Amino acid sequence: MICLGIEATAHTFGIGICDDKGKVLANERSIYKPKAGWGIIPMDAGKHHEEAKHSVLSAALEKANLKIEDIGLIAYSRGPGLPPCLHKGAELAKELAEKHSVPLVPVNHCIAHIEIGRLTCGFENPVVVYVSGGNTQIISFAEGKYRVFGECMDIGVGNALDKFGREVGLDFPQAPKIEQLAKNGKWTELPYVVKGMDLSFSGIVTECIRKHQKGEPLEDICYSMQEVFFSMLTEVTERALAHLGKDQVLLTGGVAANMRLQEMLNKMCEERNARFKVVPREFAGDNGAMISWTGILANKPGQKIKPEDAGIDPRWRTDDVEISWLKN
């Protein structure tokens, strides 16, 4: 069985193709870039996806050396995400499923970040640190669902980094540029906000902006912001690991590309004799392969919908999804 997966929750329009052994045959994408000084404008991102969809589809089929008739299953990201973007993915999924009489599977984008991480890292039952633009969650599987043990109470860690970067005039995506600037910085005092198992980033961003306006060196603020954000994440992950008695930590999502975050989590895991792995960079940010692979997993126990039911779910939570492909 070969599955074509369509990702369109935010900035990325992606098409991935996987087989049922977990071999990735193609993973093509086109990324919308907001104009300087702006964040994502949902309608503009939707327009980008509309314009990009056919060329990304052709590129993926060509890469996999397949024809659309070879595809046995279509998966698409149903949510969470920005409605104008989600609609573009759902529309294409519906169109392809109808035209070629292929079964259709809706996929939760957050679960897809977890499953591509489990596949590529070979982990069975890890504590998952899912860090991206819109989401920040510490997750683990228990009794039929991926349960959220801790999460951000306001904005995701990627958006927090991007937002500060935007305020100081960096280009989108700002977080990787902050990572570079941080290398030459030193510590400046910042608040640290962990409440129970939950995290809050937006007040710290405000304080960073204030420090920048007062003329503190940008490198110092970038360094300190990363230190604080990633320490907060490491603290909560360590508590989840201890509480659950698990011994694997998987880092996934767009922010997983950050070397300083990897270093901190790795050190904590070493001290606790836990194994630590990071999703490969190609699968860290939004991509179609993760949707395709999760579609295969969900379809194995029989999950599928009719093309006319190919809707979207902009606020679909990780812990609302029944995980029929994993046993307790």
Contacts with ligand ATP by CB under 6 A lie at 9-11, 81, 109, 113, 132-135, 156, 158-159, 161-162, 173, 175-176, 179, 253-255, 257-258, 285-286
Of the listed pieces 36-44, 153-161, 213-221, 283-291, which binds Fe ion according to CB under 5 A?
283-291
Would you say 22 or 176 has its CB closer to ligand ATP?
176
The closest alpha carbon to 131, from 247, 32, 278, belongs to 278
Q: Which does 227 bind (CB under 5 to 8 A by kind): Fe ion, ligand ATP, none?
A: none
Would you say 5 or 185 has its CB closer to Fe ion?
5
- Residue 318 binds Fe ion (CB under 5 A): no
- Within 13 Å of residue 247, how many CA atoms lie on the same side as its CB? 3
Would you say 222 or 249 has its CB closer to ligand ATP?
222
Q: Which does 73 bind (CB under 5 to 8 A by kind): Fe ion, ligand ATP, none?
A: none
Would you say 102 or 323 has its CB closer to ligand ATP?
323
Residues 66 and 2: beta-carbon distance below 8 Å:
yes
- Give least dist CB 258 to ligand ATP, A: 3
Give strand pairing partners of 60. Answer: none
The closest alpha carbon to 237, from 109, 137, 92, 103, belongs to 137
Q: Which does 106 bind (CB under 5 to 8 A by kind): ligand ATP, Fe ion, none?
A: none
Note the helical H segments in the chain: 42-64, 83-100, 109-121, 157-167, 175-182, 202-213, 218-244, 259-271, 288-299
Site string for Fe ion, 98-137 (x = CB under 5 A): ----------------------------------x-----
- Give least dist CB 98 to ligand ATP, A: 27
- Residue 286 binds Fe ion (CB under 5 A): yes
Q: Which does 77 bind (CB under 5 to 8 A by kind): Fe ion, ligand ATP, none?
A: none
- Give least dist CB 142 to ligand ATP, A: 22
Would you say 5 or 173 has its CB closer to ligand ATP?
173
DSSP-derived secondary structure for 143-196:
TTEEEEEEEBSSS-HHHHHHHHHHHTTPPSS-HHHHHHHHTT---------EET
Query: ∠ CA 294-288-137 to the nearest 5 degrees?
Result: 65
d(CA 263, CA 230): 10
Site string for Fe ion, 12-51 (x = CB under 5 A): ----------------------------------------
**What CA dihedral angle connects 3, 109, 45 and 32, to 10 degrees?**
-70
Residue type, 127: V
Q: Which does 176 bind (CB under 5 to 8 A by kind): ligand ATP, Fe ion, none?
A: ligand ATP
* 257 DSSP 8-state letter: G
Would you say 72 or 176 has its CB closer to ligand ATP?
176
d(CA 5, CA 98): 15
**How far, rounded to the nearest angstrom, does the alpha carbon of residue 262 sit from its chain's CA centroid?**
16
Interaction site with Fe ion (CB under 5 A):
132, 286
